[in-house]
Amino acid sequence: MKNKFLIIQTGDPVPLSAPNGELFADWFIDGMQVSRNIVDVVNVHKRETLPSIDHAVKTYAGILITGSKAMVTESDDWVLKTQSWLRQTMPHKIPVLGICFGHQLLADMLGGEVAYNPKGRRMGLSRCTLSAEAATDPLFQILPQPKFDVLLSHSQTVISPPPKSMVFGHTEADANHLFRYQDFIWGVQYHPEWNADITAGYIKQRSDDLKAEGLQPDLLLAELKDCPEAKKVLSQFVKITSNA
């Protein structure tokens, strides 16, 4: 029985969000509500090697892809190699969940379009509006209809979703905030693994850039709050993949 999960780590947190050396995988595992010993982590941005396809098929109930400071459109070699590996897993239908950069990496891999958001960088608290069909999706049905608060930080976005995919949610700046491809690949633009403190660290770390772009860090910080409902997609992913 496949009882482990693979987290493909594509970057590292900014120092102000991880004062004790936390990694993206640590936040994912917390949200997944699983034991660390059933999770393997591969740092592809540090050129660590992903497992063989045969091993992945035999071992993993699900695969998760983290956020990153990298940009999908820069087509770094490790991004292309990760996409190539993921394509090889697709015939075996291992469930996959991509978060933020991971969401964009999957959309690009599957034939969608990723680019810098014409509306500019988005950081802090936002609100996602769900489609009616989200209530029928195994992953997104856990989210409250019709709207819920999310925490985010991104400059690029999915401009066009992959062909034959379904879009389940949007924000004021991101038309394709949640999508599913076939019945086993999901993309989520927001950060379900973050809380208000983590997000505050990002805002403070990038305060100068935000001001240069016409944003107001103090206002973004004042608006922050935890978004526990949004976080539930991580534990729901574990539930639906473990029961598959």
Pseudo-torsion of CA 49, 18, 157, 174, nearest 10°? 140
Work out the average pLDDT over 230-244.
92
Q: Quick: pLDDT tens for 157-178.
A: 999 999 999 999 999 999 999 9
Tokens of 38: 């059933």
Catalytic annotation on 128? no
Q: 229: helix, coil or strand? A: helix
Q: Quick: pLDDT tens for 100-145.
A: 999 999 999 999 999 999 999 999 999 999 999 999 999 999 999 9
CA–CA gap between residue 220 and residue 243 (Å, rounded)? 39
Q: How many residues does the chain have?
A: 244
Looking at 103, 177, 193, 227, which residue is catalytic? 193
Buried b (16+ CB within 10 A) or exposed e, 48-79: eebeeeeebbebbbbbbbbbbebbbeeeeebb
CA–CA gap between residue 206 and residue 44 (Å, rounded)? 24
Catalytic annotation on 92? no
Q: Evaluate if residue 203 carries a pLDDT over 70.
A: yes
Look at strands 156-160 and 165-170 and give their pairing: unpaired
183 CB-side CA count, 13 A:
6
Catalytic annotation on 48? no
Mean residue pLDDT of the chain comes to: 97
Entry pTM = 0.97
CATH number of the domain located at residue range(s) 4-242 in this protein: 3.40.50.880
Looking at 100, 128, 177, 227, which residue is catalytic? 100
CA distances for 227 relative to 128, 215, 231, 233, angstroms: 12, 22, 7, 12
- CA triplet 123, 129, 134: central angle to 5 degrees? 125
Q: Quick: pLDDT tens for 42-76.
A: 999 999 999 999 999 999 999 999 999 999 999 99
Confidence of residue 1 (pLDDT cuts 50, 70, 90): low
